Amino acid sequence: MTFRVAVDFAFGQCRLKLTSGTAACTLVAHAEPNSFTDLVTAVADLAEGRRSVSVRWTSGDGSAADSFLDLALAPTGHVGIAVHDCVTVDGEWSPARGEARFLTRVSYDEVITTFAAALWRTRVRYADDFGFIEQWGWLVPRHQLDSIMTRAGLIGFAPASRREDAC
């Protein structure tokens, strides 16, 4: 089973696509800076030793399409990854999770290196020299990305050194 992560920006949208085997899930945020920033921060936290992290992926378009992306390190060294839709209670948003839309279990090393590759590709492909993503309107969280890349490097991951190789 192969785990893949893709992050793309266009016209004020950030798309996160997770694929594992035949299962796939795409999350879309519209002009909402926190979704991408929280994703990078959560992966950095996992890379720095936290055992459980969660990201609220906010659509930002006023719809009820918010989701939770959860990553939890098991004692076996695998990371469980789940995406659940947020559930409304009495017509109001709540942090309650609905049924799972995406579930997988991947080795810790594969999770860190796969996210590192996807986030590095995002930095190289979409951001200028200062880390600003024009198609998004916000900065790449540099400190957190550095933490991810450091852990991935310790595992043996080496990012593409040229823009053409990363895209």
**What percentage of residues in the chain have a pLDDT greater than 90?**
67
40 within 8 A of 139, measured Cβ to Cβ: no
Average the pLDDT over 21-47 and give the result.
91
Set out the domains of the chain in order of their start, with CATH numbers. 3-149 (3.30.2450)
139 within 8 A of 128, measured Cβ to Cβ: no
- The Cα 9–Cα 28 span in angstroms is 10
19 within 8 A of 30, measured Cβ to Cβ: no
136 within 8 A of 123, measured Cβ to Cβ: no
Per-residue confidence (pLDDT) for residue 58, from 0 to 100: 81
The tokens describing 135, both together, are 């198609």
- The Cα 32–Cα 132 span in angstroms is 15
Per-residue pLDDT tens digits for 99-138: 999 999 999 999 999 999 999 999 999 999 999 998 888 8
Residue 151 has a CB neighbour count (10 Å cut-off) of 22
- The Cα 29–Cα 9 span in angstroms is 10
**Mean pLDDT rounded to a whole number for the chain:** 89
- Edge-to-edge strand list for the sheet holding 23-30: 3-10, 13-20, 23-30
